[in-house]
């Protein structure tokens, strides 16, 4: 007995053709979808297999870029210095010219000579070359600074401290390393070359945790996305005649605990030229202050805001243009916050107005 569908097709043959063509269309679309999925997965696998082997202490960022071109492309965008926010940005700014009172505040200290606001990581080496604080050394044994000043400026630093001890490196004159420290902050400062895992290269960071009885090698990936930044974005000082880079965290990371640590050593960065008072010049205690923030307490990492994830084709990558979240709010702040861009910027400036 013929089914009702068979009868309908017999009476109206076009229905059969419509069903046939419809079925073929569905099969064709599903085939395209399956092929696309396979292609994207293959592309992802190929992209995660670098074409170049990287040496253990390869300092050249452009060589890493051959293996990871997408990340390197975003890293290179830090050369752009056009972003300005209310209080900072990524352009060269002369703090002494903007506020001459700083010259008096730092009287007798190198920052009274020259104090420029920081630019992007790609300028780390050139900017330390051009500051008056490093002087104008005529020989490798000349100049006011030790190589401690290189500690957070270049992936050439871990290369050099693998050849000589950190102590020997720090006590060497800054000018003696001019021919060696040539690559700005980059890939090798954060990544292990074989696996791309985040790693710690800064001895002072690891040593500070060891003195507290902590093993940083057991950090989670999310913790690492903050702690690799904390290798440099912290308060530190140069200890003793050897100018050994040291983080003053033995008593804790709060400002009062750091002050107590310095007091126990009777340490000061310099004696003020006018008041003769011993003074500590806090560097940039970003990590210490961040620990008191609601973001830190909710598990947000530095990279979540300053290096948010982005997509390129089928690839999800970390944006290596390290920058203010205010210059990339759609990918940083607005992933979690539902307020408008204008309202979020106002929230930031309202808080900054209270401390600037």
CATH classification at residue 223: 1.10.1130.10
- For the chain, the domain total comes to 2
On whether both 223 and 275 belong to a single domain, the answer is yes
Q: Mean pLDDT, to the nearest integer, of 226-233?
A: 98
> Is 344 part of any domain?
yes
355 within a domain of the structure (yes/no)? no
Residues 135 and 218 in one domain: yes
Alpha-carbon gap, residue 27 to 20, rounded angstroms:
11
> How many angstroms separate the CA atoms of 335 and 295, rounded?
13
Those residues with Cβ within 8 angstroms of residue 312's Cβ, 6 or more apart along the chain or in another chain: 70
Query: Considering the entire predicted model, what is its pTM?
Result: 0.84
* Mean pLDDT, rounded, of the chain: 91
Full domain range(s) for residue 11:
4-45
Task: State the Cα angle at 214 between 213 and 219, rounded to 5°.
Answer: 170
Residues 267, 318 share a domain: yes
Query: What is the pairing mode between strands 315-318 and 278-279?
Result: unpaired
What are the tens digits of pLDDT across the range 255-309?
999 999 999 999 999 999 999 999 999 999 999 999 999 999 999 999 999 999 9
Q: Do 244 and 100 belong together in one domain? A: yes
Residues 17 and 84 in one domain: no
Of 247 and 136, the structure prediction assigns the larger pLDDT to 247
Report yes or no on 115 lying in a domain. Answer: yes
**In a domain? residue 52:** no
Q: What is the mean pLDDT of residues 210-230?
A: 96
């Amino acid at each position: 007995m013929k089914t009702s569908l068979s009868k309908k097709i017999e009476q109206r043959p076009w229905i059969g053709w419509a069903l046939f063509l419809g079925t073929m269309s569905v099969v064709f679309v599903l085939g395209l979808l399956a092929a696309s999925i396979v292609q994207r997965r293959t592309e992802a696998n190929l992209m995660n297999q670098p074409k170049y082997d990287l040496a253990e202490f390869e300092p050249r960022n452009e060589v890493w870029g051959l293996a990871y071109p997408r990340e390197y492309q975003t890293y290179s965008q830090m050369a752009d210095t056009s972003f300005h926010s209310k209080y900072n940005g990524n352009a060269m700014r002369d703090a002494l010219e903007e506020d001459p009172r700083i010259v008096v505040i730092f009287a007798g200290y190198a920052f009274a000579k020259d104090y420029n606001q920081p630019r992007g990581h790609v300028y780390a080496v050139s900017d330390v070359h051009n500051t008056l604080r490093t002087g104008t050394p005529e020989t490798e044994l000349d100049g006011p600074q030790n190589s401690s000043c290189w500690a957070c400026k270049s992936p050439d630093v871990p290369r050099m401290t693998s050849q000589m001890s950190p102590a020997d490196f720090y006590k060497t004159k800054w000018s003696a390393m001019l021919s060696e420290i040539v690559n700005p902050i980059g890939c090798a400062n954060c990544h292990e070359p074989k696996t791309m895992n985040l790693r710690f290269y800064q001895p002072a960071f690891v040593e500070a945790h060891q003195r507290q009885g902590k093993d940083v090698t057991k950090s989670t990936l999310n913790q690492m996305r903050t702690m690799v930044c904390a290798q440099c974005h912290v308060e530190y000082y140069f200890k003793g005649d050897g100018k050994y880079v040291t983080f003053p965290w033995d008593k804790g990371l709060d400002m009062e605990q750091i002050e107590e640590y310095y007091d126990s050593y009777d340490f000061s960065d310099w004696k003020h030229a006018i008041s003769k008072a011993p003074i500590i010049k806090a560097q940039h205690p970003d990590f210490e202050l961040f620990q008191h923030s609601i973001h830190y307490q909710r598990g947000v990492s530095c990279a979540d805001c300053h290096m948010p994830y982005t997509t390129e084709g089928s690839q999800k990558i970390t944006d290596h243009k390290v920058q203010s979240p205010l210059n990339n709010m759609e990918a940083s702040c607005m992933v979690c916050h539902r307020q408008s861009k204008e309202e979020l910027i106002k929230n930031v400036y309202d808080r900054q107005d209270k401390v600037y």
